[in-house]
Structure 1
Amino acid sequence: MNFEDYQPYLSPALAKATDLIAVSGKGCYLTDSKGDRYLDFVQGIAVNALGHCHPKIVEAIKAQAEKLITASFNVVNYPATLELARRLAGVTPGELDSVFFSNGGAEAVDGALKLAKVYTRRPAIIAFQGSFHGRSFGALSVTGSNANYRKYYEPLVGSVYFTAYPSKDLCPKGFNEEQRTKFCLSELDRLFENLVAPDQVAAIIMEPVQGEGGYVVPSRAFVQEIRERCDRYGILLILDEIQSGYGRTGKMFASSYFDVVPDIMTIGKAIAGGLPMSAVISTAAIMKEWHPGMHGTTFGGNPICAASALAVLDEFKQSALLKHVNEAGTYLKSQLVGLQKKYNCISDVRGLGLMLAIEFSHPDGSPAGDLLEAVRTGCLKNKLLTLSCGVHHNGMRFATPLNVTRDEIDQGITIIDSVMNRLCVQ
């Protein structure tokens, strides 16, 4: 079986990172149609929280599929989905106890934007440069990481304003963390003064740790000041935790690192251990204004996805998964720092928990996206799947399973090291 034989039947709109045909997976590994086994540091783009085909997830899926596949959650209720809503309320921060289930990240973002507008009766949304929230019309309208995503689709949703995120790539060169924080906050205040009055803004939407933008961790002061401005002006804070949430950073949700609770949160990716599921989560008071019929879904809250999601939550509790993420993340970061010390083309190592990235630069400091792609190509030839990130496409992000072992980390680092040894100056 060759991908080329089937390519004529697939839209080219979906960019393919490889031509591999994956036929099976187990834990941190994928096996393709040729029988080759790959160490998978992509995991469905941070989706497989427990790796491929975790036994408890497979068991939960099978058990539910034998009983009921779907009858539409807007027609009937499912025990698994009801229980998932209750258990999510037990792990989400603050009073974020009311859930609207959907199918993917972009769909959840669209829902969150609608909810914010309904509740505040205000028209405007503020988003950040470098952000990625999805490619549906609403989510794309608040995505600022790649102009090509927006090309030919204008006009998008109106009254969306972008401001600076405290990334080194998006702030004046040479600024330290404190200077980047002050600069970005001043840019937001200038936006309020010159372009959109605060009392017209329904929500500020941000990733507490930018994903596609480069796994960029803002300062605690920055996130707290955003929260303060939202409180001051009656603006809702939407935190997109689709990639940073569900244990990826070593806490259940990245917002905990900043001691900030959003008004609305979107989650997805890892929630159902590999099945398509996402959610908009808010307070009962805010959700109360989202009246019946204002939003809907045919497949959202699917019982098989919910059963899988319950198995994921069980594993968090039973295996001390967050403790493991912090330990494994500390170890992985130390190995990445070791590579940085060895190769001068690695200009940065950053992230939290197992949400880590390395950045490639040329000797003159310019982004080395070409070198990154050469490294990724070499890794693929050596049976390691990797993922890029960054507004300049010069970052490699690590999206291992949350239960990745030290041996698996060592295998991946050894491959990256061997490839870089041929391509980079030591």
Structure 2
Amino acid sequence: MEYSREQGDINKSSARSRYWDRNLSLAARAVYEEDNRYFLHQSLSTPVLNVLSKAEGIYIYDMDGKPYIDMHGNGVHNAGFNNDDVIEAVIAALRSKNTFSPRRYTNEHAVALAKKLVEITPDGLDRVLFAPGGSEAIEMAVMLAKQITGKWKTISFWDSYHGNGFQASSIGGERLFKAGNGPMVPGALHVEFPNYYRNPWGFDSEEAVDNEILRQMELLFEREGDIACVIGEPISATPIVPSSLFWERVKSLCEKHGALLIFDEIIEGFGRTGRMFAAEHSVTPDILVLGKSLGGGVLPFAGIVTREEYNVLGHLSIGHFTHEKNGLCASAGLAMIDYLERHRLVENAEEVGRYALEWLEGLRERCPLVGNVNGVGLHIGVELVKDRATKEKAIDEAEAVMYKAMERGVAFKIIESNVITLRPSLVITKEQMRFALEQLELCLQEVASGSYYY
């Protein structure tokens, strides 16, 4: 059976087995075996990588108490893992018992969070709807677009991930989340994302790549018709940063054909890119999808923010979720946003991210494995290649670097088989980032010299 590496490392490789043998203590091994026994096995999940005892700030800790600077965090840790302010807000909500609101009721926490999101999102986004998780929020956004436009097809991007569930998986561009499920939601059309380093046409200019993607989009609008929306991440999870004009042109195309533009900022939102929202680097979408850090890194929570003019579906339900207005989750979200603002973490992301990108550009000159560095703020990707001329992906090398770095106390995720993604908590300092980058370089240089993870 072949295991997909679209999302990076797999839990069935020989290197993974060596990592387990070297790094799982007896106590961790016991929990690992129980996890392995009771959870359904699936790619990216069980069998697990390691067993954690706690997570705090920028760190995760294994059962031996060893800390790792976590450069992944599943995107929930913008304000840091188990942020004390968030925890205190959650405790206060629990003590007041203002937590769950049954259907047809509301509470002060949910209303306050909705009001805050309207205040901090780009101008023109004035209505909010919450959901338990990001996949459900994507479903709501697409359903809203279909209802508003009266159309039913979507345009999204290959290699994208927008969650699970049939609609979210259908618009996603990865086989890993839909293979073998039979017919998915019809009308899900795809084009390439503007990857200027690695595009299928071999173009060497941003303009040429943009032009080809927009040409294909225009064809879909004209020949397929019935396009309700274009949905994508303003800056991809890989990450890939589109040109300054790309989204402006997509937005114009949507307006021309009566479609909505949806930005999935479940990962990029709340300061990750050095702006409160990644949309601030380009254009304001018609619907903004948020999640992950919205729950403060403690609770699951997500939602959409959209335009006042789309508040016309009072006769239908597009997000009738049991926990739509969960006061406990909302209190965590409010505390997270307050912490970001008071501690100027958006500005910190921009500053530390700029430092890291400059450092990594220097590393690209020093290490032949590094083919490309991309990103903005604390949303960074380092693509490894066997040969810079051919751009052949260094898949085994990336996996070896990952395990070596874990043993040096730096944890990250690989995506698309060869891209090291660096997305630490926004509380990280320049000194902590420097330490992580130094460990990464040591691992890269070892692997470049032929010392793999044996």
Interval containing the TM-score (normalised by the shorter chain) = over 0.9
Query: What residue identity is the alignment partner of 2:61?
Result: T
Moved over 6 A (4+): none
Q: 1:209 maps to which residue? A: 235
1:72 equivalenced with 2:101 (yes/no): yes
Q: Which residue is 2:348 aligned to? A: 324
Give how far 1:154 is off.
2.5
Instruction: Give per-residue Cα distances to partners, 1:290-345, cap 9 Å, x unaligned.
Output: 53434310123321211111111112221222211111111111221122111111
Q: Which position in structure 2 is the counterpart of 1:15?
A: 44
Query: Is it true that 1:282 corresponds to 2:311 in the alignment?
Result: no
Counterpart CA distance in 1 for 2:115 and 2:393 is: 46
Q: Distance in 2 between matches of 1:108 and 1:294?
A: 10
Match of 2:10 in 1: none
Where 1:189 maps in the other structure, the secondary structure is helix
Structure 1 residue aligned with 2:370: 346
Could you list the runs of 5+ residues in structure 2 that have no partner in the other structure? 1-26
Counterpart of 2:393, as a letter, is P
Q: Match of 1:119, SS?
A: helix
Q: 1:215 to 1:293 in 2, by over 3 A?
A: same
Amino acid at match of 1:66: R
Residue 26 of structure 1 is aligned with which of 17, 36, 56? 56
| Separation in structure 2 between the aligned mates of residue 376 and residue 7 of structure 1, nearest angstrom | 22
Q: Which residue of 2 aligns with 1:93?
A: 122
Give the counterpart letter for 1:372 in structure 2: A
SS of match in other structure, 1:418? helix
What SS class does the counterpart of residue 77 from structure 1 fall into? coil
Aligned residue identity for 1:206: G
- In structure 2, the partner of 1:387 is 413
Is there any run of 5+ residues in structure 1 with no aligned partner, and where?
Answer: none
- Work out which of the residue numbers 386, 396, 399 in structure 2 matches 1:373: 399
Q: Deviations over 1:18-66 (max 9, x none)?
A: 43211212211121222222221112x1211111121111111111111
Aligned 8 A contact 2:131 2:137 in 1: yes
Does the alignment pair 1:111 with 2:137? no
Identity of aligned residues (%): 27
Query: 5 Å matches for 1:98-247?
Result: 98-144=127-173, 146-168=174-196, 169-194=198-223, 196-197=224-225, 200-211=226-237, 214-247=238-271
Following the alignment from structure 1 to structure 2, what is the Cα–Cα distance between the partners of residues 340 and 92? 36
Please, which moves more after superposition, 264-273 or 221-230? 264-273
- Map Cα deviations across residues 352-372 of structure 1 (whole Å, 9 max, x no partner): 111111101111321112211
Report the equivalent of 1:267: 290
Aligned partner of 2:288: which letter?
Answer: M
Structure 1 residues 166 and 6: CA distance shift in structure 2, 3 A: closer
Q: For residue 125 of structure 1, report the CA deviation from its aligned partner.
A: 1.0
Q: For 1:210 and 1:290, locate their aligned partners in 2 and report how far apart those are by CA, in whole Å.
A: 33
1:362 aligned counterpart, secondary structure: strand
* 2:133–2:292 Cα contact (<8 Å) kept: yes
Verify: 1:400 aligned to 2:424, yes or no: yes
Q: Write the distance in 2 (CA, Å) between the matches of 1:387 and 1:291.
A: 43
Structure-1 separation of matches of 2:382 and 2:35 = 35
C-alpha separation between the residues in 1 aligned to 2:134 and 2:34?
31
The one-letter code matched in structure 2 to 1:163 is V
CA spacing shift, 1:416–1:290, aligned 2, 3 Å? farther
1:55 counterpart (72, 78, 84): 84
Deviation per CA, 1:252-296: give whole Å up to 9, x if none.
1111111x1111110111122212110011112213225343431
Counterpart AA for 1:348: N
Distance in 2 (alpha carbons) for counterparts of 1:39 and 1:361: 25
CA distance in 2, matches of 1:236, 1:174: 29
3-state SS, counterpart of residue 393 of structure 2: coil
Q: Does 1:334 align with 2:358?
A: yes
Task: Work out the CA distance in 1 between the residues paired with 2:360 and 2:311.
Answer: 43
Measure the CA separation in 1 of the matches of 2:325 and 2:426: 24
Contact 1:345 1:425 in 2 (8 A): no
Give CA deviations for 1:154-202 in whole Å, capped at 9, x if unaligned: 21000111112211434312422111111111111222344x12xx111
C-alpha distance in structure 2 between counterparts of 1:150 and 1:292, whole Å: 28
Structure 1 position 14, deviation (Å): 5.3
Pairwise CA distance, 1:79: 0.9
State the distance in 1 between where 2:205 and 2:396 align.
Answer: 26
RMSD, matched Cα: 1.7
Distance 1:174 1:122, change over 3 A: closer
TM-score calculated relative to the size of structure 1: 0.94
Separation in 2, partners of 1:55, 1:106: 28
Q: State the distance in 1 between where 2:408 and 2:100 align.
A: 45
- What is the CA-CA distance between 1:97 and the residue it aligns to? 1.2
Q: CA 1:75–1:33 in 2, change beyond 3 Å: closer, same or farther? A: farther
Structure 2 Cα separation of the partners of residues 153 and 287 of structure 1 = 34
Query: With structure 2 as the length reference, what TM-score do the two structures score?
Result: 0.88
- Note closer, same or farther for the CA distance 1:300–1:291 as it changes in structure 2 (3 Å cut): same
Q: Distance in 1 between matches of 2:63 and 2:128?
A: 39
Q: Report if aligned partners of 1:21, 1:32 keep a CA contact under 8 Å in 2.
A: yes
| Contact 1:164 1:184 (C-alpha < 8 Å) held by counterparts | yes
- Closer/same/farther in 2, CA of residues 290 and 171 from structure 1, 3 Å limit: farther
Alpha-carbon distance in structure 2 between the residues aligned to 1:192 and 1:98: 28
Aligned counterparts of 2:155 and 2:265: Cα–Cα separation in 1: 17
